[in-house]
C-alpha cells in the first residue's frame, strides 16, 4: 500500500463530528456544558488528529481510537471552560502587587458590593426630591469629612483623574513639572503622555535629581495654567537631591494667580511612619498645604477598589463634573459601593488598620509573622519533608503599587530547597497549580513570604506539595 493510500485509509477511520456527538459519554457532557463549547472541543480535537496523520508522524494510526479521542476532547473542554481571571496565592510579600490585583477588599466592602449589586439603588436618584440625582454625591461627603477637602469627585482610576484634571484646567496651556517627576508607572502610563493627551503642554523644569523653586518661577509665563507635583511613587532619587515641598509650590502658584495640582499616586489617609515605614505624604496633608487639586488611586495604599479620587476646591470640582470626559471616565456602581464601605472604615484609624487587608498586611507585627511562618513550615514538613527542606528565614516584604519604593519591611519567609528540584522547577510547578501559587526566587532558593498569605493559602500550598511528592 502506498503511503498516500495508507494515510487516506487512516483518515477515513477518524470519526465525523456528528458521530462523536452521538457517543453516550458526549451526550452526558452536553447536559453539563454549552453545546457550542463541546462542538469546539470536538472540532479542535479531530482537526489536530487529522493534522498529525497528514504530517505522517511516526505512527499515524496511534490515538485515533475512540477512547483516546474522547479523553482528548475532555481535556480540551476542560481548558475551554476554565476562567481566565482566577484567584492566585500571592506569596511574593509585595502587598499592593500591581500584577496580582493590587489591593484586596475589606469584608465590609464585599458585603456592600453584594447588597448594592443585587438590588436597585439610588445610584442616580435624589430620594429627598424624588427626581434624577448624581452618582457623584455618594462618596463625596465622606471624602471631605476624612480629608478636610472642600469637594471631591471619584472617577474610574487615577490615570483618568489626572487626564480629567489637566484637560479641564490646562487644555492648550502649559503645565510646569519638575523633570525628576516625569514618571512612568507600570503598564506604560507615563505622566508626559497623559499630559499630551489631555491637551496640556508640558513644561519640564529643573534636573533629574534637583529642582528649585526658582526653576518653576522662571518658567512661569502668560501661557502657564498650573504648577504640578507628581509624587515619584515607584522609584527613589537618592544622594544629591532637591524637591520643592508642596506648600512652597502652592505658595508660588497662588502668588502668580495660578493653580497648584498634585498627583499623589498612592494616597494614604494614615501616616504609616508610626509603623516604622518612611514618611509618605497623606491626602490630608496635601489638602492642608492649600493645593487646589489632589488626585490618587483607590486601590493602592488606600486599600479600596480601583478608582481615581480627586479632592479639591469647590469651583474646580464643579468644573470637572461638567467636563464630558467625566462621563467617559465615570465610576461604576460596584466600585462606588465598595469605596464608600472602605472609606467608612477610616472614621476610626484603628478599625481601618484592622479591617483593610492592605493596611493589616503592611502593619502585621513580626511576632505574628514568625508564628505564621513556623506554622507554614510545619505544615509543609508534614507532607514533604522527604524531598524538600523547609526553613523559616528573615527577609523583606515590599509595599508595592508605587508606594514607598525601596522601603524594605522586615518579614519572615519559608525558604524551600530540594535535592530533586531546583528553585525554578519549584516555581514553575507551583505557578501551574490550581490555584496558582506565586512566590519568588532569591539566590536559587524558592521563598514564600507569609505576610501576603492567609490560612487558606497555607492549605493550598500544602496541597500543592502533597501533589508534588506523590
Ligand X SMILES: *Cc1c(COP(=O)(O)O)cnc(C)c1O
Which residues contact ligand X (rule: CB under 6 A)? 157-159, 162, 185, 189, 230-231, 233, 263, 265-266, 297, 308, 402
Under a CB-based contact definition with an 8 Å cutoff, are residues 54 and 28 in contact? Answer: no
Judged by CB, which is closer to ligand X: 294, or 369? 294
Judged by CB, which is closer to ligand X: 156, or 395? 156
Element (H, E) at 400: strand 388-400
Minimum distance, C-beta of residue 157 to ligand X, in the bound complex (Å): 3
Judged by CB, which is closer to ligand X: 266, or 342? 266
Minimum distance, C-beta of residue 162 to ligand X, in the bound complex (Å): 6
Under a CB-based contact definition with an 8 Å cutoff, are residues 423 and 377 in contact? Answer: no
Backbone angles phi, psi at 434, to 5 degrees: -115, 110
Residue 373 cell numbers, joined: 511562618
Within 10 A of 89 (CB to CB), how many other CB atoms are there?
Answer: 25
**Contact partners, residue 190, CB within 8 Å, separation at least 6:** 182, 183, 184
Minimum distance, C-beta of residue 187 to ligand X, in the bound complex (Å): 7
Distance (Å, rounded) from C-alpha 250 to C-alpha 260?
5
With 0-12 CB in 10 A as exposed, 13-18 as middle and 19+ as buried, what is 227? buried
Cell 497662588 sits at which residue? Answer: 254
Minimum distance, C-beta of residue 331 to ligand X, in the bound complex (Å): 12
Minimum distance, C-beta of residue 297 to ligand X, in the bound complex (Å): 3
Within 10 A of 151 (CB to CB), how many other CB atoms are there?
Answer: 21
Minimum distance, C-beta of residue 388 to ligand X, in the bound complex (Å): 38
Distance (Å, rounded) from C-alpha 288 to C-alpha 291?
8
Minimum distance, C-beta of residue 451 to ligand X, in the bound complex (Å): 21
Residue 221 cell numbers, joined: 509665563
Which residue is closest to ligand X by CB?
A: 265
Residue 185 cell numbers, joined: 508607572
Judged by CB, which is closer to ligand X: 206, or 265? 265
> β-strand 308-312 against 151-155: which pairing, if any?
antiparallel
Nearest to 266 by CA among 365, 399, 151: 399
Judged by CB, which is closer to ligand X: 73, or 162? 162
Minimum distance, C-beta of residue 191 to ligand X, in the bound complex (Å): 7
Judged by CB, which is closer to ligand X: 157, or 411? 157
In angstroms, how far is CA 327 from the centroid of its own chain?
Answer: 23
Judged by CB, which is closer to ligand X: 197, or 456? 197
Cell 497555607 sits at which residue? Answer: 458
Judged by CB, which is closer to ligand X: 300, or 451? 300
Amino acid at each position: 500500500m502506498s503511503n498516500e493510500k495508507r494515510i487516506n485509509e487512516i483518515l477515513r477511520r477518524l470519526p465525523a463530528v456528528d458521530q462523536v456527538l452521538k457517543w453516550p459519554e458526549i451526550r452526558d457532557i452536553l447536559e453539563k456544558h454549552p453545546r457550542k463549547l463541546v462542538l469546539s472541543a470536538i472540532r479542535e480535537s479531530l482537526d489536530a488528529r487529522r493534522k498529525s496523520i497528514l504530517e505522517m508522524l511516526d505512527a499515524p494510526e496511534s490515538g485515533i481510537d475512540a477512547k483516546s479521542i474522547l479523553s482528548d476532547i475532555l481535556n480540551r473542554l476542560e481548558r475551554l471552560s476554565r476562567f481566565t481571571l482566577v484567584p492566585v496565592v500571592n506569596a511574593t510579600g509585595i502587598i499592593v502587587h500591581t500584577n496580582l490585583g493590587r489591593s484586596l477588599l475589606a469584608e465590609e466592602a464585599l458585603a456592600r458590593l453584594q447588597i448594592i449589586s443585587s438590588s436597585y439603588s439610588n445610584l442616580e436618584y435624589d430620594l429627598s426630591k424624588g427626581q434624577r440625582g448624581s452618582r457623584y454625591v455618594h462618596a463625596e461627603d465622606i471624602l471631605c469629612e476624612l480629608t478636610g477637602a472642600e469637594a471631591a469627585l471619584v472617577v474610574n482610576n487615577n490615570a483618568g483623574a489626572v487626564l480629567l484634571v489637566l484637560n479641564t484646567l490646562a487644555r492648550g496651556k502649559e503645565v510646569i513639572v519638575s523633570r525628576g517627576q516625569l514618571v512612568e508607572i507600570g503598564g506604560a502610563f507615563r505622566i508626559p503622555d497623559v499630559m499630551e493627551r489631555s491637551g496640556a503642554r508640558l513644561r519640564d523644569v529643573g534636573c533629574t535629581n534637583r529642582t528649585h523653586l526658582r526653576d518653576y518661577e522662571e518658567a512661569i509665563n502668560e501661557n502657564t495654567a498650573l504648577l504640578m507635583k507628581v509624587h515619584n511613587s515607584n522609584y527613589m532619587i537618592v544622594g544629591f537631591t532637591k524637591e520643592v515641598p508642596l506648600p512652597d509650590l502652592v505658595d508660588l502658584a497662588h502668588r502668580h494667580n495660578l493653580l497648584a495640582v498634585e498627583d499623589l499616586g498612592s494616597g494614604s489617609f494614615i501616616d504609616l511612619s508610626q509603623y516604622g515605614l518612611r514618611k509618605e505624604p497623606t491626602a490630608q496633608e496635601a489638602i492642608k498645604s492649600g493645593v487646589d487639586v489632589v488626585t490618587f488611586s483607590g486601590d493602592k495604599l488606600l486599600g479600596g477598589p480601583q478608582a481615581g479620587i480627586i479632592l479639591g476646591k469647590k469651583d474646580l470640582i464643579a468644573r470637572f463634573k461638567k467636563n464630558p470626559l467625566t462621563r467617559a471616565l465615570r465610576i461604576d456602581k460596584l466600585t462606588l459601593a465598595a469605596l464608600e464601605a472602605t472609606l467608612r472604615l477610616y472614621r476610626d484609624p484603628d478599625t481601618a488598620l484592622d479591617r483593610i487587608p492592605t493596611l493589616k498586611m503592611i502593619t502585621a507585627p513580626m511576632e505574628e509573622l514568625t508564628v505564621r511562618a513556623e506554622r507554614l513550615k510545619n505544615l509543609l514538613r508534614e507532607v514533604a519533608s522527604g524531598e524538600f527542606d523547609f526553613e523559616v528565614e528573615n527577609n523583606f516584604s515590599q509595599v508595592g503599587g508605587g508606594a514607598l519604593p525601596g522601603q524594605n519591611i522586615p518579614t519572615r519567609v519559608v525558604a524551600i530547597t530540594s535535592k530533586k528540584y531546583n528553585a525554578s522547577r519549584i516555581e514553575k510547578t507551583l505557578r501551574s497549580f490550581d490555584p496558582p501559587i506565586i512566590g519568588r526566587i532569591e539566590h536559587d532558593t524558592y521563598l514564600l513570604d507569609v505576610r501576603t498569605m492567609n490560612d487558606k493559602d497555607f492549605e493550598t500550598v500544602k496541597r500543592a506539595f502533597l501533589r508534588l511528592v506523590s
